[in-house]
Amino acid sequence: MAGAQTHRLGNAGLIDRSAPLNFRFDGKAFSGFQGDTLASALIANGVKLVGRSFKYHRPRGILTSGSEEPNALVELRTGARREPNTKATTAELYEGLEAASQNRWPSLRHDVMSVNQLFAPIFVAGFYYKTFMWPAKFWEAIYEPAIRRAAGLGRAAGIADPDHYDKAWAHCDVLIAGSGPAGLAAALSAGRSGARVILCEEDFTLGGRLLSDGGTIDGLPAAAWLSKTLDELAAMPDVRIIPRTTLFGVYDGGTYGAIERVNDHLPSPPEHQVRQRLWRIVARRCVVAAGAIERPIVFAGNDTPGVMMASAMRTYVARYAATPAKRIALFTNNEDGWRTVETALGAGLQIAAVIDARPDVSPAHRSLASKSGFPVLHGSVSGVDGGKDGVRKIAVSLTGGARAEVEADGLAVSGGWNPAVGLTSYHRGRPTWRDDIAAFVPDGAPPGMVAAGAANGDFGLGACLSQGFAAGAAAARDAGHNGKAGIAPVADDEVFSLTPLWHVAGKGKAFVDYQHDVTASDIELAQREGFESVEHLKRYTTLGMATDQGKTSNVAGLAIMAAVSGRSIPETGTTIYRPPYVPVAIGAFAGHHRDETFHATRLTPSHHWAVEQGAVFVDTGLWKRAQWYPRAGEKDWLESVTREVKAVRGGVGFCDVSTLGKIDVHGSDAGAFLDRVYINTFSNLAVGKARYGLMLREDGIVYDDGTTSRLAEDHYFLTTTTAKAGLVMQHLEFCRQVLFPELDVQLTSVSDQWAQFSIAGPKTRDLLKEIVDPAEDLSNEGFPFMGAREVTLRGGLKARLFRISFSGEMAFEISVPARFGDAMARNLMLAGAPFGVTPYGTEALGVMRVEKGHIAGPELSGTTTAADLGLGKMMSTKKDYIGRVMAGREALVAPDRQVVVGIKPTDKARRLRSGAHIIPKGQTPGPGNDQGYVTSVCFSPTSDQWIGLALVERGRERIGEIVHAHDPLRGEDYDVELCNPVFYDPDGGRQRG
Amino acid sequence: MRIVCPFCGERELGEFTYLGDAKPVRPEAGASEDEVFDYVYLRDNVAGETSEYWYHGGGCRTWLKVTRNTLTHEISSVEPAAGAGAAKVGA
Amino acid sequence: MAEFSWAPRSSLEKALVAGAHGTRGIEAGISLTEIRNFDLIQVMARRGQAAELAKVAKARFGVAAPNAPKAIQTSDATLIWSGPDQFFVLSKGGKHTMQTLATSLSGPASLSDQSHARVLISISDAKARAMLAKLSSIDLHPDAFAVGAAAATSMDHTSVTLWRGGDRDGLAVFNLLVFATFAESLWHMILDSAAEYGVDIGHSKEF
């Protein structure tokens, strides 16, 4: 066991002394106990200096005991799990914990950058705006890199996080934030009423301030009441208490975000366990019992290690049996601060003095002081003498002008309490000012949310219990649960009696925002320079913009601004509150969606067969599609793709095209419906035939294309492109439900029902004859081009056969129910072996469609009309259809539109690239003479050169013209010839043969 | 945000797709270019209550007409959009 | 002449590894079973024929088809609501097929075969709800999602049909129909979500 815990009390506290834990801070070995935080364990070991401040690199200690901590930020863990800016005050101690201080070099005690303090006059508010203005060209080269090196707190791991994160939904009637007296009372009443309750507690131990401040509830000591209450709640099946969980945000419709630190208290999560879990909680009502945050008073040297919030000081003593100081002074402006004196005395610590800023101190406290032998000084702390080893002496300005000095090694400060107004203000609610406690209290909370107890500005234990209980019962009732809640727990209310005090004038830096090193004089400067609005103040000084979001600093900053601008605090107002309440790891938002599972993936029915074939896959939307099937000895993709194309054109090949969207269109008006959504007519399509169709958007631009077959009088089978499958389904449902409700049409996606293969090449029929039942007539007469019908396969399986071609070859598409897709691929290989059947991927598919001049995604670009694509003749003039009127707009039928045309390089050896601009030959490229661009290119094995499709102004009138291709992105310029887009078999003999 | 689908009950936003203003009605077949232009492009930018098309594509595939306040995000009614955009023949 | 085999292959053939997964040494909190032999027919009322379909369906199945998000058990099928005026007929393979249903239902309804379009997964045991809460945004509390409740909903941005079957050993059983091409992806997401509870994986030809 390393190091003696010199600052640990001999007994008491909620630590488990039977479970000692070893840990290291900045490489030095220490020990603590189960139940410690890193902060309490450091305190127990007498460590006062834990970090350096952001801007001035000032030595900093531990200020608070909770998630509001601005100072004690450390790098926790090492290697891939290293996490910067972890609050030592909330990090649970575990065996082997390793933490390192931040923002110092070479060491915490000797930090070179602390020279920044000497330059403090230039690091004032607006420093960046003022300093790095000139010369402008210095910004990128010098200023920004230098700032980036100096700025930031802690170092990210820089390695992928090895842990798993999780996301989950939860539902309840009543959601409660906080397990202090108000939260527990709310859980009791809501739970007893029969409501489903979720209570989130940030801490790893339930009880909130009861753990530190004790008290008497229903005649029982707080600890006994707590344990009895938790037992009662545990017995309620619909009350769920989630510790280590912070409610960080509230969203529309009663949805809340919470982060659960499931295994942060262990060195690493056990196998199969998650590190953190992001909860999305849907709640009908929410009771915010998140308590209040004690606020500092701004005085010179208030950031010296050893200066600590009074409530935190007694938490360390009472809950953790750790003593931040042996001789403590208290600086308070309210009665609550005195509780620290009582706790310290009870633990046998010495009180050096109480500096009370109020005019009067109660007789009870006076007699306590005289009995315990410490002075009560009326006045304020105006300076602290100390440094990285902590507080030594405290300078006091006494009421009336005299000065005094107090020797102490710790200074507890209480400036009053600020209710935690974050959650209640996240829907732009503006908290309102309450004079009696000199603090903002919640107002304008999101629908269904109320604050109770200290979070509502009522700090007394009795008030917390009664308000929490009433809020829980009301919330349950609102959610429809009227069970007997019983009576509220009872306790006395403590006196609060506060005299506001925000800032004590004095010599030296007086910090408002500890984490961002914003001082009182920065705020005064901002006011002088005209940044008086709180939103300006915030951005100009960066007040409240650090990872703690100003939990300890915002109100003091506003108060100082109010004072210097001659306004009241409520007139000065608050900035807008935004979630998250505490920092949330990106990993938690991602959950299991990382690496291969970043998004859902769709696999075709023959996917695993293609994997066996060694296919290279390409992501197409969510799909994995076989891109090509490399063979041994092939040196690159082009060689494989060229082989596949040649094999198809010279024999037969097949490709899984199951990714096409497939929709069953049923109903007596199915044909009439298709007539309205396609530009061409489908009601006159014969049963057993297929037809190519083109759909427009209502604005006249082409939306999607595909082949639709009529399988029965009242049944069409519609296909869409892969990319638009879901959107076309949505569009058709819109047409069916919203626009044309009078039609008898039913739509069903059958994309997943059918495995569909394209079989292409002159030997297609030979192959098919091996697969289909010999009774099926596949001759040109028996199964003509654009035929579509059900066939029986050898073995009796029913399939659908479509004689359609996208490649320009003799081709069929064959569909079988999806679970037979794998068998179909294998059987095609088997049946096709004598004909040299070759599976081909999407690249070869693309090459053949470009050779044949078929349009695809790059041409269906959301800017092209049917006429642009050369399909203007398909536009029926005999019927109305989606997009008809808008397609006739002047600009969409203008003669100089860019239309699809073929291109080939004049230098046959040149490679084409899509994206190149088309410029008239002999002209200097510029926006004025840009006539279009190259949409699709490929190396055409058939033409033995690169070919492409382009959208070119008046392109079809200019066939044969040589134009210039300008590709500034790749620095290429070359000439191309405009040509017929159909490079292959222009008269269509092959596909009809 | 949550929408109460009249068929499925209350569901989270992720199950729905937004389309836009549910006020315009598709002009009938003989309408002029101007009328169709207004239908396609002309939209009010309402600060307050507005009706919108939402598609419950992650659920029952029903198109819904949602009345929502753009200032408070409060949803006051959700109904099937059946026929909501259909040309009012003879109107 | 080549000898063809037309063996059906589930989308989960590769991904599903029967046995234990995730945390060991505890009683598995999740039981996952893929059910592989079923027919699934989508039945949609023709325009204005919903009442007629209800009548015909009742005559065919002996119970009323669901007109709200419910799954109704008949003697040899489960009728699952899938949207307004439409439902699924799920049965053991070969029981209620397109052919057998067409004779009685094709007048007032359109039928679409979805038998191959979906994968059917049954999820049960003590941690079923906790695991499903990671994938489903809907409330599966016993009071909110009783036996026979059904939902057309989404998991991992993927449309699914979820319903609660009869309890087994006092524990809820959730049935999930997921699109076949998404199934392997969702399966991995289910395993990732379930791993901490310990999983017992299997497949079955029986319901």
Looking at the partner chain, which of A253, A738, A740 has a beta carbon nearest the beta carbon of B63?
A738
On chain B, the residues whose CB falls within 8 A of the CB of A740 are 86
Determine the residue of chain C that is closest to A278 in CA distance.
Answer: C134
Residue C4 to residue A820, Cβ atoms within 8 A: no
Tokens of C92: 């053991």
CA–chain centroid gap for A49, Å, is 35
Other C-beta atoms within 10 Å of A112: how many? 11
Integer Cα distance of A401 and A372 in angstroms: 27
Residue A506: which pLDDT band, with cuts at 50, 70 and 90?
A: confident
For A676-694, how does the pLDDT look when each residue is reduced to its tens digit (9 = 90+)? 999 999 999 999 999 999 9
pLDDT for residue B91: 40
pLDDT for residue A139: 67
Mean pLDDT estimate for chain C: 95
On chain A, the residues whose CB falls within 8 A of the CB of B33 are 885-886, 888-889
Mean pLDDT of A725-754: 98
On chain B, the residues whose CB falls within 8 A of the CB of C68 are 7
On chain A, the residues whose CB falls within 8 A of the CB of B53 are 734, 738
Tokens of A165: 């994160």
On chain B, the residues whose CB falls within 8 A of the CB of C137 are 11-12, 14-15
Helix count and strand count (H, E) for chain C:
4, 12
Q: Which domains does chain B have, with CATH numbers?
A: 2-80 (3.30.2270.10)
The distance of B9 to chain C (nearest Cα, Å) reads: 9
Interface check A885 vs B, CB under 8 A: yes
Residue A1: which pLDDT band, with cuts at 50, 70 and 90?
A: very low
C103-106's contacts with Cβ under 8 Å and 24+ in sequence apart are C104/C56, C104/C59, C104/C60, C105/C43, C105/C53, C105/C56, C105/C57, C105/C60
Looking at the partner chain, which of B14, B60, B80 has a beta carbon nearest the beta carbon of C137?
B14
Tokens of A78: 């090492």
Looking at the partner chain, which of C48, C116, C195 has a beta carbon nearest the beta carbon of A272?
C195
Contact A83, A59 (CB under 8 A): no
Which of A489, A496, A453 lies closest to A471, judged by CA?
Answer: A453
The SS3 call for residue A543 is coil
pLDDT for residue A141: 72
For A217-235, how does the pLDDT look when each residue is reduced to its tens digit (9 = 90+)? 999 999 999 999 999 999 9
For A979-990, how does the pLDDT look when each residue is reduced to its tens digit (9 = 90+)? 999 999 999 888
Integer Cα distance of A789 and C98 in angstroms: 17
Interface check C2 vs A, CB under 8 A: yes
Whether pLDDT at A556 is above 80: yes
Q: Characterize A407-420 residue by residue with b for buried, 16 or more Cβ atoms within 10 angstroms of its Cβ, and e for exposed.
A: ebbbbbbbbbbbbb
Residue C112 to residue A664, Cβ atoms within 8 A: yes
For residue A451, give every residue at least 6 positions away whose Cβ sits within 8 Å of its Cβ, in sequence order, or none: A287, A288, A289, A290, A419, A421, A424, A441, A442, A445
Integer Cα distance of A426 and A580 in angstroms: 9
Other C-beta atoms within 10 Å of A905: how many? 19
For C150-204, how does the pLDDT look when each residue is reduced to its tens digit (9 = 90+)? 999 999 999 999 999 999 999 999 999 999 999 999 999 999 999 999 999 999 8
Contact A505, A382 (CB under 8 A): yes
The distance of C188 to chain B (nearest Cα, Å) reads: 20
Integer Cα distance of A37 and A90 in angstroms: 6
pLDDT for residue A105: 74
Q: Which domains does chain A have, with CATH numbers?
A: 1-160 (3.10.20.440), 165-292+420-478 (3.50.50.60), 296-415 (3.50.50.60), 503-565 (1.10.10.1100), 602-658+754-849 (3.30.1360.120), 661-749 (3.30.70.1400), 895-993 (2.40.30.110)
The distance of C52 to chain A (nearest Cα, Å) reads: 15
On chain B, the residues whose CB falls within 8 A of the CB of C83 are 7, 60-62
Interface of B with A (CB under 8 A): 1-2, 12, 17, 19, 26, 29, 31, 33, 36-37, 39-41, 53, 55, 57, 61-63, 73-75, 80-87
Interface check C137 vs A, CB under 8 A: yes
For C99-112, how does the pLDDT look when each residue is reduced to its tens digit (9 = 90+)? 999 999 999 999 99
- Residues across chain C: 207
pLDDT for residue A835: 96
Residue of B61, B62, B76 best to disrupt the A interface, most CBs of A under 10 A: B61
Determine the residue of chain B that is closest to A741 in CA distance.
Answer: B83
> What residues are paired with B20 via a beta bridge?
B53
Signed CA dihedral, A333, A334, A336, A341: sign only: positive
Residue of A697, A884, A885 best to disrupt the B interface, most CBs of B under 10 A: A885
Chains sharing 3 or more CB pairs under 8 A with chain B: A, C
For A199-209, how does the pLDDT look when each residue is reduced to its tens digit (9 = 90+)? 999 999 999 99
Q: Is the ipTM of this complex over 0.95?
A: yes
**DSSP alpha helix (H) spans, A622-691:** 637-650, 670-677
Determine the residue of chain B that is closest to C69 in CA distance.
Answer: B8
DSSP-assigned states of every residue in A841-872 = -HHHHHHHHHHTT---TTTSSSS--TTTTT-G
Residue C84 to residue B80, Cβ atoms within 8 A: yes
Mean pLDDT of A388-408: 95
Over the Cα atoms of chain B, what is R_g?
A: 14
Interface check A737 vs B, CB under 8 A: yes
pLDDT for residue A127: 67
Integer Cα distance of A263 and A244 in angstroms: 9
Does residue A82 or residue A146 have the better pLDDT? A82
Q: How far is CA A723 from CA A623, A702, A705, A727, C91, in A?
A: 10, 14, 11, 8, 33
Other C-beta atoms within 10 Å of A131: how many? 13
Q: Which domains does chain C have, with CATH numbers?
A: 19-36+116-204 (3.30.1360.120), 38-113 (3.30.70.1520)
CA angle (A412 as vertex; A408, A413 as ends), nearest 5: 130
On chain C, the residues whose CB falls within 8 A of the CB of A599 are 157
Residue A886 to residue B55, Cβ atoms within 8 A: no
Q: Helix A554-565 and helix A520-528: axis angle, to 10°?
A: 40
Q: How far is CA A816 from CA A609, A612, A623, C33, in A?
A: 16, 21, 19, 26
The distance of B64 to chain C (nearest Cα, Å) reads: 12
For A579-612, how does the pLDDT look when each residue is reduced to its tens digit (9 = 90+)? 999 999 999 999 999 988 899 999 999 999 999 9
pLDDT for residue B89: 54
Q: What is the dihedral of CA A342, A347, A350, A354, to 10 degrees?
A: -20
pLDDT for residue A110: 82
Does residue A324 or residue A153 have the better pLDDT? A324
The distance of A667 to chain C (nearest Cα, Å) reads: 7
Whether pLDDT at A246 is above 50: yes
pLDDT for residue A107: 83
Interface check A889 vs B, CB under 8 A: yes
> What residues are paired with C160 via a beta bridge?
C153, C178
Burial of C188 (0-12, 13-18, 19+ CB in 10 A): middle
Whether pLDDT at A557 is above 70: yes
Residue A823 to residue C9, Cβ atoms within 8 A: yes
Looking at the partner chain, which of B9, B58, B80 has a beta carbon nearest the beta carbon of C154?
B58
DSSP-assigned states of every residue in A498-532 = -----B---SS-BEEETTTTEEHHHHHHHHHTT--
Answer whether the bond into residue C69 is a cis peptide, omega within 30°.
no
The SS3 call for residue A934 is strand
Element holding A174 (H helix, E strand)? strand A165-177
On chain B, the residues whose CB falls within 8 A of the CB of C152 are 8, 59-61
For A962-977, how does the pLDDT look when each residue is reduced to its tens digit (9 = 90+)? 999 999 999 999 999 9
For A847-895, how does the pLDDT look when each residue is reduced to its tens digit (9 = 90+)? 999 999 999 999 999 999 999 999 999 999 999 999 999 999 999 999 9
Tokens of C119: 């994968």
For B24-63, how does the pLDDT look when each residue is reduced to its tens digit (9 = 90+)? 999 998 899 999 999 999 999 999 999 999 999 999 999 9
Q: What percent of chain A has pLDDT over 70?
A: 97
Residue A748 to residue C4, Cβ atoms within 8 A: no
Residue B14 to residue C157, Cβ atoms within 8 A: yes
pLDDT for residue B87: 84
pLDDT for residue A3: 60
Interface check C82 vs A, CB under 8 A: no
Element holding A950 (H helix, E strand)? strand A945-953
Over the Cα atoms of chain A, what is R_g?
A: 38
DSSP-assigned states of every residue in A584-603 = --HHHHHTT-SGGGSS--EE
Which of A71, A68, A152 lies closest to A105, judged by CA?
Answer: A152
On chain C, the residues whose CB falls within 8 A of the CB of B14 are 137, 154, 157
Q: How far is CA A596 from CA A599, A600, A841, in A?
A: 8, 9, 22
Looking at the partner chain, which of B29, B33, B82 has a beta carbon nearest the beta carbon of A741?
B82
Tokens of C108: 């007032």
Element holding A549 (H helix, E strand)? none
DSSP letter assigned to residue C86: E
Residue A741 to residue B86, Cβ atoms within 8 A: yes
Determine the residue of chain B that is closest to C84 in CA distance.
Answer: B7
Residue A148: which pLDDT band, with cuts at 50, 70 and 90?
A: low
For A924-967, how does the pLDDT look when each residue is reduced to its tens digit (9 = 90+)? 999 899 999 999 999 999 999 999 999 999 999 999 999 999 99
> What residues are paired with A788 via a beta bridge?
A802
DSSP letter assigned to residue A806: S
CA–chain centroid gap for A406, Å, is 50
| A980 HSE (CA, 13 A, CB side) | 7
Mean pLDDT estimate for chain A: 94
pLDDT for residue A154: 81
Integer Cα distance of B16 and B5 in angstroms: 10
For A792-809, how does the pLDDT look when each residue is reduced to its tens digit (9 = 90+)? 999 999 999 999 999 999
Residue A738 to residue B73, Cβ atoms within 8 A: no
DSSP-assigned states of every residue in A695-726 = EE-TTSSEEEEEEEEEEETTEEEEEE-TTTHH
Residue C116 to residue A819, Cβ atoms within 8 A: yes
Tokens of B52: 């919108």
Residue C154 to residue B59, Cβ atoms within 8 A: yes
Q: What is the dihedral of CA A7, A9, A13, A16, to 10 degrees?
A: 80
On chain A, the residues whose CB falls within 8 A of the CB of B17 are 730
Residue C137 to residue B9, Cβ atoms within 8 A: no
Which of A359, A321, A361 lies closest to A337, judged by CA?
Answer: A361
